[in-house]
Chain A
């Protein structure tokens, strides 16, 4: 840091410079001047939409080294005009909270603790259980002989914070499988 001189006294800076009211550059410290917003170092900015309520505020996602480093409101949006509420403004933590889970966890029936499980193995186990439950609770027809071709052994709930494309695939596959008990926050 450069040595302070008489002219660096804040009151003199204020009188000399372009900040006569002393609310801007005249009162910043050398340390403040040396800082830059972390968004300045971002590798890129991606346009997105806030995942909380249904207003649909636009977000700018700043990322660096494959991690989200900051999320801000997008002034271009005609809906939100750059604003975010406390939840939207906190959504960087949604990605980076220390409580974020990144590994598959498994709890066996009557188990007392979580265990590790390989993702591939987990997916295969779920597929097996899906097929089994589907068969075990299959209903071909009702008591009048009307076709039902459905299974009552599988149900799902969610999600109103997942994508249209995701809901579409869930609806499509579950329906083809005959699993009618599909529900969503939209009925809660």
Chain B
């Protein structure tokens, strides 16, 4: 966070940092005090804009065109950081002759299969001898002139992303574009750095992963990765949302970003080879070591070389099993039990109505929370009970509400947004029946194991063989430090037996070490809980390495080898961070070097060895199989090796770039409650002429479970509201502080009206685009201090194919004055608008309402909830095999 202060330019795009991350924003203010420029790109003018040098309003969902325009600008005007690009990126790499670009295929990359809506990425591969490519040594042209170099492909790909295209797509004037592009160009290079910051304003789009990629490409071209005041800051929204990705409660990965195995992956060596090959460059070459240590941590003595370390114990995936796929299975009656650990999907997940119907269709449910959240009470006071559609007597879900201990009542660690793990000490005992989730899970596990103790069923073997023994205190609460120690790993044989691992470098492939999450190895080195390090900031330098512990190996800036030039010298005195010290023969500097400590800058690397030894002294991107930062991603992305612009699923604007209107890999679910407006692809699109985008406000948190139950916060922000421009208010007849009803193809909600010039109508082509802002914190129940309609009720389940995250930030609606009808009238209102738009499921068998949209055709009748699009959430950057042949569930 403090590194913001080192930036010369901060571009905040897709984030309202001042209001969503107010305390971190002090570092942006600090940077401004030191002379930095701040630009805020966002549909709304917010407090972030008020503290920026310029606010650039943008039509939501068009960020790839804006940043693609900047990429074109720096390439055409030769403003990119040449030495950096040549040494540290894959700009010089040659791509396969078979590669076809959307510029030539009218919006599709080569390898597209319209039947499945997926890509075969084999034509995006590097050119050269396969064995050499596997060693990270593809064909290259260091002059960057060959037409098949990544550099030239990039140039052609973005050639039409001109300032005029930016204006016609984003609604951004050439003057504002010039200001942004020039600011980035002038604040990059040896002496200066630009930092990007984003949040859910990028992530929650269909195509959101590619928006982030666009910024990544630009930052690599400008030489802003691995350097102080550079990089891309992902501003994440929850205390340990970073930790719960690292040590995931996510279906597709195991701790440390190891992918969950898929059906058919029965050979352990093949599985680990799919993550990282032994002969490739960098640290993923040791994927087998990380996997062995994890399996050994879980199955202890039952994991051995003879049984592939218990690899067969792991369940297998057959496609995407994300939260929305699981919801569809709930609706089909195929899920019996559901656990909520501090989550409120009845309010916080897309398509609230379907969420609540899904919960109503379970056999049983366990809610662990502090308060009676809406997901615990939907059966008695949810909107569908209010409307008379459902009643408690019709809902068979057996509910267990278990009160949870809060952050002051248990010890444990959170990982904050910059990978820093911080420990919390326990202050008090939890009240009454409240317990930590650690105690709950441990206790539940022990009860299940006790009940299965006599089982001879082979299905129960992985449970019975599981290492499940942790020391507990007098209340039965397990020692969280003992769990952290297992995550860190330890030696279990040899002279160091029993000692914690000092780093993942100590992990062995012979079963003599264990470690639950390789990237966290070192957090408990020497038996010292480094997450609990608390040397005051005032007593440290700006890196503050003795406060908390950042994975991996307490590095604060990743890929920081790139902060030095190819010879190992700082790019400039001003931007000194990590450099080669000839005298000691090591890398040194203000941070832990993110590079083999003694590998000389002129080391050619040893391709015969693979792994860290194969890295050349200039291969700064040590996790990439070729040691380079990827401008072009030959693998890892399911919707293209480079970002390209598509309109959102409900957009009323035709894609100005291609005939292909929306992302051809989009994931959606067919259901009468999950219809989409046809947008520009059908006449009915004009029934929903406005765009709405959702956001967080300072005084509330997510679905309100930790804020609408607190009187202070409820008093500060008591009511659901919508932000509209004076022009739109005039057009519709909305009164300030009166009521409005917002109607999408999914549902209708009501909100108080806030008429404000913070919302700017944008001129896009011949059309004026009105955008409406909706905070998403409110929900309907009866227990919270404050309630209101939930913005997520309006949002459909249209997912990004890379991440399976829903498109919350860019959907279509209409808005009318007054409150919504009560009772059955609400559904009737939604239905009336659907009919006007031609959204009648039985008459329109199209997949997602997008009449005439290229891509997959009508789904087959008979399957209740067909899904289209790829079913993969990619995990690791290298070589993970595709799941596209697999079924959804």
* Chain A residues close to B by CB (< 8 Å): 44, 46-58, 61, 63, 66-68, 71, 75-81, 83-88, 90-91, 93-95, 97-114, 117, 119, 122-133, 136-138, 140, 142, 144, 146-188
Of A111, A113, A126, A152, the residue contacting B329 (CB under 8 A) is A152
Whether a CB of chain A sits under 8 angstroms from the CB of B178 is no
Which of A84, A132, A157 is packed against the most chain B CB atoms within 10 Å?
A157
Taking a contact as CB atoms under 8 Å apart, the answer to whether A66 and B401 are in contact is no
B66 to A: closest C-beta gap in Å: 26
For residue A184, which residues in chain B have a CB less than 8 angstroms away from its CB?
Answer: 241, 244-245, 248-250
For residue B248, which residues in chain A have a CB less than 8 angstroms away from its CB?
Answer: 167, 171, 182, 184, 186
Binary interface encoding of chain B residues 375-419 relative to chain A, with 1 for a CB under 8 A from any of its CBs, else 0: 010011000000000001111111111110011111011111100
For residue B486, which residues in chain A have a CB less than 8 angstroms away from its CB?
Answer: 168
Q: Which residue of B lies closest to A111 (CB)?
A: B392
Taking a contact as CB atoms under 8 Å apart, the answer to whether A46 and B427 are in contact is yes
Asked whether A181 and B239 contact (CB < 8 A) given A56-B416, A157-B339, the answer is no
User: 6 closest Cβ contacts across the A-B interface?
Assistant: A56-B416, A78-B537, A102-B432, A163-B412, A158-B341, A150-B315
Whether a CB of chain A sits under 8 angstroms from the CB of B598 is no
Taking a contact as CB atoms under 8 Å apart, the answer to whether A87 and B337 are in contact is no
For residue A122, which residues in chain B have a CB less than 8 angstroms away from its CB?
Answer: 400, 402
Q: Which residue of A lies closest to B2 (CB)?
A: A78
Taking a contact as CB atoms under 8 Å apart, the answer to whether A136 and B336 are in contact is yes
Of A79, A164, A166, the residue contacting B441 (CB under 8 A) is A166
**5 A-B residue pairs with CB within 8 Å:** A46-B425, A48-B425, A103-B433, A173-B466, A183-B322
For residue A57, which residues in chain B have a CB less than 8 angstroms away from its CB?
Answer: 23
Q: Which residue of B lies closest to A85 (CB)?
A: B22
Asked whether A167 and B462 contact (CB < 8 A) given A93-B711, A99-B785, A129-B337, the answer is no
For residue A97, which residues in chain B have a CB less than 8 angstroms away from its CB?
Answer: 370-371, 709-711
Whether a CB of chain A sits under 8 angstroms from the CB of B660 is no
Of A54, A56, A88, the residue contacting B237 (CB under 8 A) is A54
Taking a contact as CB atoms under 8 Å apart, the answer to whether A176 and B462 are in contact is yes
Q: Which residue of B lies closest to A61 (CB)?
A: B427
For residue B400, which residues in chain A have a CB less than 8 angstroms away from its CB?
Answer: 104-106, 117, 122, 125-126
Taking a contact as CB atoms under 8 Å apart, the answer to whether B240 and A164 are in contact is yes
Asked whether A88 and B23 contact (CB < 8 A) given A147-B316, A188-B805, the answer is yes
Whether a CB of chain A sits under 8 angstroms from the CB of B452 is yes
Complex CA gap A47/B380 in Å reads 40
Taking a contact as CB atoms under 8 Å apart, the answer to whether A78 and B316 are in contact is no
Taking a contact as CB atoms under 8 Å apart, the answer to whether B246 and A164 are in contact is yes
For residue A168, which residues in chain B have a CB less than 8 angstroms away from its CB?
Answer: 247, 255, 483, 486-487, 516-517
Binary interface encoding of chain B residues 693-713 relative to chain A, with 1 for a CB under 8 A from any of its CBs, else 0: 000001111100011011111
For residue B298, which residues in chain A have a CB less than 8 angstroms away from its CB?
Answer: 172, 175-176
Which of B433, B784, B785, B804 is packed against the most chain A CB atoms within 10 Å?
B433
Whether a CB of chain A sits under 8 angstroms from the CB of B314 is yes
Q: Which residue of A lies closest to B540 (CB)?
A: A78
Of A85, A107, A131, A172, the residue contacting B379 (CB under 8 A) is A107
- Which chain B residues (534-578) contact chain A, with CB distance < 8 Å? 534, 536-538, 540, 544, 547-548
Taking a contact as CB atoms under 8 Å apart, the answer to whether B266 and A147 are in contact is yes
For residue B379, which residues in chain A have a CB less than 8 angstroms away from its CB?
Answer: 107
For residue A63, which residues in chain B have a CB less than 8 angstroms away from its CB?
Answer: 408, 427-428
Whether a CB of chain A sits under 8 angstroms from the CB of B836 is no
Not counting A159-B343, A173-B466, A182-B248, a sample of 16 additional A-B residue pairs whose C-beta atoms are within 8 angstroms of each other reads A47-B425, A48-B407, A87-B700, A90-B707, A103-B403, A104-B403, A107-B397, A109-B395, A113-B380, A148-B316, A155-B337, A158-B339, A162-B342, A171-B255, A174-B249, A187-B805
Asked whether A102 and B710 contact (CB < 8 A) given A129-B337, A161-B238, the answer is no
Taking a contact as CB atoms under 8 Å apart, the answer to whether A164 and B487 are in contact is yes
Taking a contact as CB atoms under 8 Å apart, the answer to whether A56 and B785 are in contact is no
Q: Which residue of A lies closest to B438 (CB)?
A: A166
Taking a contact as CB atoms under 8 Å apart, the answer to whether A177 and B398 are in contact is no
Asked whether A182 and B426 contact (CB < 8 A) given A90-B712, A147-B316, A157-B338, the answer is no
Complex CA gap A125/B707 in Å reads 31
A127 to B: closest C-beta gap in Å: 4
Of A54, A80, A108, A154, the residue contacting B239 (CB under 8 A) is A54
Q: Which residue of A lies closest to B317 (CB)?
A: A180
- Which chain B residues (514-540) contact chain A, with CB distance < 8 Å? 516-517, 520, 534, 536-538, 540
Complex CA gap A95/B368 in Å reads 15
For residue B376, which residues in chain A have a CB less than 8 angstroms away from its CB?
Answer: 105
Complex CA gap A73/B399 in Å reads 37
For residue B370, which residues in chain A have a CB less than 8 angstroms away from its CB?
Answer: 94, 97, 100-101
Taking a contact as CB atoms under 8 Å apart, the answer to whether A79 and B1 are in contact is yes
Whether a CB of chain A sits under 8 angstroms from the CB of B364 is yes
Complex CA gap A151/B334 in Å reads 11
Taking a contact as CB atoms under 8 Å apart, the answer to whether A167 and B701 are in contact is no
Whether a CB of chain A sits under 8 angstroms from the CB of B305 is no
Whether a CB of chain A sits under 8 angstroms from the CB of B242 is yes
For residue A58, which residues in chain B have a CB less than 8 angstroms away from its CB?
Answer: 422, 534
Q: How many B residues have CB within 8 A of the partner chain?
A: 163
- Which chain B residues (702-731) contact chain A, with CB distance < 8 Å? 702, 706-707, 709-713, 716
For residue A101, which residues in chain B have a CB less than 8 angstroms away from its CB?
Answer: 369-372, 401, 403, 434
For residue B398, which residues in chain A have a CB less than 8 angstroms away from its CB?
Answer: 107-109, 129
> Which of B141-149, B442-450, B588-596 has 4 or more CB atoms under 8 Å from chain A?
B442-450
Q: Which residue of A lies closest to B412 (CB)?
A: A163
- Which chain B residues (437-482) contact chain A, with CB distance < 8 Å? 437-438, 441-445, 447-448, 451-452, 459, 462-463, 466, 468, 478, 480
Complex CA gap A135/B771 in Å reads 49
For residue B410, which residues in chain A have a CB less than 8 angstroms away from its CB?
Answer: 163
Of B239, B393, B806, the residue contacting A188 (CB under 8 A) is B806
A167 to B: closest C-beta gap in Å: 5
Complex CA gap A159/B805 in Å reads 16
For residue A84, which residues in chain B have a CB less than 8 angstroms away from its CB?
Answer: 23
Complex CA gap A93/B341 in Å reads 20
Q: Which residue of B lies closest to A153 (CB)?
A: B336
Taking a contact as CB atoms under 8 Å apart, the answer to whether B425 and A109 are in contact is no
Whether a CB of chain A sits under 8 angstroms from the CB of B838 is no
Q: Which residue of A lies closest to B1 (CB)?
A: A79
A160 to B: closest C-beta gap in Å: 4
Taking a contact as CB atoms under 8 Å apart, the answer to whether A165 and B427 are in contact is no
Q: Which residue of A lies closest to B696 (CB)?
A: A53
A54 to B: closest C-beta gap in Å: 4
Taking a contact as CB atoms under 8 Å apart, the answer to whether B249 and A156 are in contact is yes
Taking a contact as CB atoms under 8 Å apart, the answer to whether B463 and A183 are in contact is no
Of B334, B442, B448, B548, the residue contacting A127 (CB under 8 A) is B448
Of A54, A127, A173, A182, the residue contacting B416 (CB under 8 A) is A54
Complex CA gap A154/B249 in Å reads 14
Whether a CB of chain A sits under 8 angstroms from the CB of B734 is no
Asked whether A173 and B483 contact (CB < 8 A) given A148-B318, A153-B336, the answer is no
Whether a CB of chain A sits under 8 angstroms from the CB of B307 is no
Taking a contact as CB atoms under 8 Å apart, the answer to whether B372 and A112 are in contact is no
Complex CA gap A146/B714 in Å reads 53
For residue B422, which residues in chain A have a CB less than 8 angstroms away from its CB?
Answer: 49, 56, 58
Of B22, B313, B340, B371, the residue contacting A156 (CB under 8 A) is B340
Complex CA gap A74/B488 in Å reads 27
Which of A90, A156, A186 is packed against the most chain B CB atoms within 10 Å?
A186
Of B342, B420, B428, the residue contacting A56 (CB under 8 A) is B420
For residue A61, which residues in chain B have a CB less than 8 angstroms away from its CB?
Answer: 408, 427
Whether a CB of chain A sits under 8 angstroms from the CB of B816 is no
Taking a contact as CB atoms under 8 Å apart, the answer to whether B468 and A54 are in contact is no
Which of A51, A103, A157, A185 is packed against the most chain B CB atoms within 10 Å?
A185
Q: Which residue of B lies closest to A67 (CB)?
A: B428
A118 to B: closest C-beta gap in Å: 9
Of B238, B372, B414, B442, the residue contacting A99 (CB under 8 A) is B372
Taking a contact as CB atoms under 8 Å apart, the answer to whether B706 and A186 are in contact is no
Taking a contact as CB atoms under 8 Å apart, the answer to whether B343 and A126 are in contact is no
Whether a CB of chain A sits under 8 angstroms from the CB of B321 is yes
For residue A123, which residues in chain B have a CB less than 8 angstroms away from its CB?
Answer: 443-444, 447
